Chain A
Amino acid sequence: MKPLTEKQLNEIRQIVQTGRVLTSESDRFSYAYDASFGTYLPDVVIQTKDVQELAELVKFANRELIPVYPRGQSTSLSGGPLPVKGGMVIDLSVMNDLLEIDEEDLVAIVSPGVLTADIHKAAEKKGLMYPPDPSSSHVSTIGGNLAENSGGPRGLKYGVTKDYVIGLEVITPQGEIIRTGGRTVKNVTGYDLTKLIVGSEGTLGIITKAILRLIPKPPASETVMAIFDSLVDAGRAISRILTSGILPAKMELLDQASMVAVENYQPSGLPKDAEALILIELDGHPIAVRDEAEQVFRVCREIGAREVRVPQTKEEKEQAWKARKLVSPAIVRVKPTKISEDATVPRSKIPEMCRRLQEIKKKYNIDLVVFGHIGDGNLHPNIIADKSDKEEMRRVEKAVAEIFEAAVELGGTLSGEHGIGVMKAPFMEMELGAAGLEMMKRIKQAWDPNNIMNPGKIFPEPGQKLVLSE
């Protein structure tokens, strides 16, 4: 892309009357990254709370063929908001004024820059719950969650972001403001554009408002923690629980490597010699969850768990979940670069996927740690490396490609929640097939004929490969 001309910048300044237009070197570098890889300088960063101004801006960009990069808080792990072709970054985190809970309609109406955790809090104050809970929810914006269709541990029982969006306001790549869906759970008028926009990673438009469905907050919860000497047994326990008529709210796995890392970082009483630990949360009516916790306890025992604990007090429960939270920080103490994958497989294929991961780990001699949302097949194979070690990074690239292949072969997907962005674009065709990918391209073309909205994402450029070693 050609850099923007002074004339274009002036026109942008004309349009953005109420916000800020940032062009200094320090500002541009500060919007050049996300939580994945690479640095890409935008020509200009724009912050405004005014939807009309934004729409004008997009019209202008569409006319002048300037790339537009919507951005929340840049916690994307796949390169989603990176301005890979320069142009303008639109910082939507500043659009954070609207957070309204309607108890009667059971909906939340929010502007895109609101932090997801603030929606959680506001809903809870009224005895309600907004279930999608990415672990980044205290930093990430709801706009980013919508664009990435984010999920979290509660996905097992409650689903992910897309299951709770019923209406959107969107600026199209041609600068029109449209509304999709509405305030009702049932709505079959025409194509479901809401669901199309959710998960489109900012390539089909800018979300400027959302209507989210809320549910009553379950009154009670119980936690069960089980330790297994064999990973295979842990897998069997998981299948047994899930086929016994119980649907836990969360079901998380820590493998041996992650337990060792946690213990070396902040000793939390985890057994370093066990192969697996599973953490289960049950929620619902107090009597029901008590009973379910007992059943889970029994199943784990029968399958041969070395130890099963049911923490009683609030503090004990928090302590149990803290170990899970510590995994991420603990593993980067080993080596600084973390490549966090989220390949996901059907539940029944979890043991097979675990086996393949161990093979890949050996084959490429990499530090691979597996933990994550085992209940919904969303494993988080994390590779720990040192990006200054070029040779190691090349091995990592190959290992990542093989992880994707394994997931797709087992009937799974490249990404359960982090999105495609730039990092996984080269693998799209492998999962979707040429015709499937082509259909998606046609949709993109219909919405965005000039390809100005988040260009360079999702769809691979000819010959594009995964590169981590530059």
Chain B
Amino acid sequence: MNEPFTSLREELRYEKTNRCVQCGYCLPACPTFLTMGKETHSPRGRINLVKMAAEGKIQDLSALEEPLDLCLGCRACETVCPTGVEYGVILESARAALARRKKYTVAKKAMRSFLFKKVFPSRKAMNLLGNAMWLYEKSGAQKLARKSGLLKNMPAHLGEFEAVLPQTVSPAERSRLPRFTPAQGEKKYTVAFFVGCVMDAMFHKINQLSIQLLAQVGCDVIVVENQTCCGALHAHAGEVEDSKQLAKRNIEAFERHDVDFIVNNAGGCGAMLIEYDHLLADEPQWAERARQFAQKTRDISQVLVLCGGVQGKAGRAERVTYQRSCHMTNVQKVTREPLQLIQSLPNVELVEMEEANMCCGSAGIYNLVQYDASMEILDHKMKHVKDTEATTVITTNPGCLLQMKLGIEREKLGDRMRAVHLVEYLAERAGIAEPQPQPVASQS
């Protein structure tokens, strides 16, 4: 076998694709298969395409591009797969192999490099983004993006996203989360808080509330300096080297503190952090450090439950529903804790929606780069959300939160339904945060 071919086979993780027995059990769990209605967009189909490329039956790798681009990376397929196919690894390796071979146009290259190397990893740039609401308005990227076609759908729909973006906190308020917040009452754990880039730039308030909640249940909370973006968006886009660099920076930053847990509040980031050990498994000087980091990583809901839960006050009676973060469910496997926390609140009735495990179509920046596909998935989801007749939709990831807000806008349900992060909801119910304006029509 010739050299380049062997290396492609390895790059595509052929041995992992071979574990798929093509039973099709993943089909009903895959949002893109359900909405797009063909095997080309099913997990089994995608794995097969990668396998065919690895076997040399597909020579022109561009045949893989669209099917892989349209995958949400929600990994629901992994959770239902009876034979334990590691779809996430296959997807990311294939995307990386494609990215390495792909000749982007100059403009597109500039845009990718700008986004992945400059914007996401940089607190400053993300702050800027937060200030400006979105990179288009200030950074001058808008023109570039238009020209590049990378975000070709985005400008047209920017208005829609703008409508649901959260109220920004003033730059002064955001500039600093408290370096150290002591536990209230008896101290149970010391935790380091992972602030995240999108979370910090756009949902700063949720970060503040997270720290308050953690302190309230008995944690000393440290906000570690020099932490950076988790690297998830890079990894999903096939820019694995970049995500490794970011992972190393985070490991270094968090290692300086002796903590029980590293806590995050964004399902997508948490999933990346918890897989740092896989990401760096091949680098001897990092593997062990990455393993320790991953072992300490927790979603905030896990720590809150571990500390005995959040004391809710008897507030307004309300029906809520919970839109899971795919990465929290399928990668971190955190499923019970958010439900436990919600169910423990007085006067709150939790009604689960049909197909509760199905992705909402947000998936990192999928809703920006694959706008139409994403909206089809969202519309499918919103039918089930509507059926619950809940007045609040609770999420555990910033992307899902924005997407649910968008869904509520699209369905014109704004007068009787709202979307919040679990942390916001708990804080509100515990009397820490002002309740957000309640929709009124629900009273009737």
- Compute how far the CA of A407 lies from the CA of B227 in the bound complex, rounded to whole angstroms: 66
Task: Tell whether A25 pairs with B63 under 8 Å between CB atoms, given A39-B57, A338-B21.
Answer: yes
In the complex the two chains form, is B23's CB within 8 Å of A35's CB? yes
- Compute how far the CA of A229 lies from the CA of B52 in the bound complex, rounded to whole angstroms: 46
Q: Total contacts A to B, CB within 8 angstroms?
A: 83
CB distance from A147 to the nearest CB of B (A): 16
Residues of B within 8 A of A33 (CB): 22, 48
Q: Is the CB of B82 closer than 8 A to any CB of chain A? A: yes
Query: Can you name 18 A-B residue pairings with CB atoms under 8 Å?
Result: A22-B40, A25-B58, A27-B38, A27-B40, A30-B45, A30-B67, A35-B22, A45-B38, A74-B39, A75-B24, A136-B25, A138-B28, A332-B83, A336-B18, A336-B19, A336-B21, A337-B21, A387-B18
Contact indicator per residue, chain A 69-84, by CB within 8 Å of chain B (1) or not (0): 0000111000000000
Q: Assuming A29-B57, A115-B28, A337-B21, what are 7 further A-B pairs, CB within 8 angstroms?
A: A26-B63, A26-B64, A27-B39, A30-B38, A30-B49, A329-B83, A332-B82
Q: Is the CB of B27 closer than 8 A to any CB of chain A? A: yes
Q: Is the CB of A328 closer than 8 A to any CB of chain B? A: yes
In the complex the two chains form, is B49's CB within 8 Å of A29's CB? yes
Q: Is the CB of B3 closer than 8 A to any CB of chain A? A: no
Contact indicator per residue, chain B 158-176, by CB within 8 Å of chain A (1) or not (0): 0000000000000000000
Residues of B within 8 A of A333 (CB): 83-84
Residues of A within 8 A of B40 (CB): 22, 26-27, 30
- The interface of chain A, by Cβ under 8 A from chain B, is 20, 22, 24-27, 29-35, 39, 45, 47, 73-75, 91, 94, 115, 136, 138-140, 328-329, 332-333, 336-338, 387-388
- Compute how far the CA of A337 lies from the CA of B22 in the bound complex, rounded to whole angstroms: 11
Interface residues on B, range: 20 to 34
Residues of B within 8 A of A387 (CB): 18
Q: Is the CB of B186 closer than 8 A to any CB of chain A? A: no
From B22, B28, B49, B82, A26 is in contact (CB under 8 Å) with: B49
CB distance from B337 to the nearest CB of A (A): 21
Residues of B within 8 A of A20 (CB): 38
Residues of A within 8 A of B37 (CB): 47, 94
In the complex the two chains form, is A34's CB within 8 Å of B22's CB? yes
From B27, B39, B60, A31 is in contact (CB under 8 Å) with: B39
Residues of A within 8 A of B83 (CB): 329, 332-333, 336
In the complex the two chains form, is B52's CB within 8 Å of A39's CB? yes
Identify the closest chain A residue to B83 (Cβ): A332
Task: Tell whether A74 pairs with B24 under 8 Å between CB atoms, given A27-B40, A30-B48.
Answer: yes
In the complex the two chains form, is A139's CB within 8 Å of B25's CB? yes
Identify the closest chain B residue to A332 (Cβ): B83
Task: Tell whether A329 pairs with B84 under 8 Å between CB atoms, given A25-B60, A29-B58, A30-B45.
Answer: yes
Q: Is the CB of B66 closer than 8 A to any CB of chain A? A: yes
In the complex the two chains form, is A75's CB within 8 Å of B38's CB? no
Identify the closest chain A residue to B59 (Cβ): A25
- Compute how far the CA of A20 lies from the CA of B38 in the bound complex, rounded to whole angstroms: 10
Identify the closest chain A residue to B46 (Cβ): A30
Q: Which of B1-52 contact A (CB under 8 A)?
A: 18-19, 21-25, 27-28, 37-40, 42, 45, 48-49, 52
Task: Tell whether A35 pairs with B21 under 8 Å between CB atoms, given A29-B52, A30-B40, A30-B45.
Answer: yes
- Compute how far the CA of A338 lies from the CA of B82 in the bound complex, rounded to whole angstroms: 13
- Compute how far the CA of A329 lies from the CA of B67 in the bound complex, rounded to whole angstroms: 27
Residues of A within 8 A of B64 (CB): 26
Q: Which of B396-412 contact A (CB under 8 A)?
A: none
In the complex the two chains form, is A35's CB within 8 Å of B49's CB? no
Residues of B within 8 A of A34 (CB): 22
In the complex the two chains form, is A136's CB within 8 Å of B49's CB? no
Residues of B within 8 A of A338 (CB): 21
Task: Tell whether A35 pairs with B24 under 8 Å between CB atoms, given A30-B39, A94-B37.
Answer: yes
Residues of A within 8 A of B22 (CB): 33-35, 74
In the complex the two chains form, is B48's CB within 8 Å of A47's CB? no
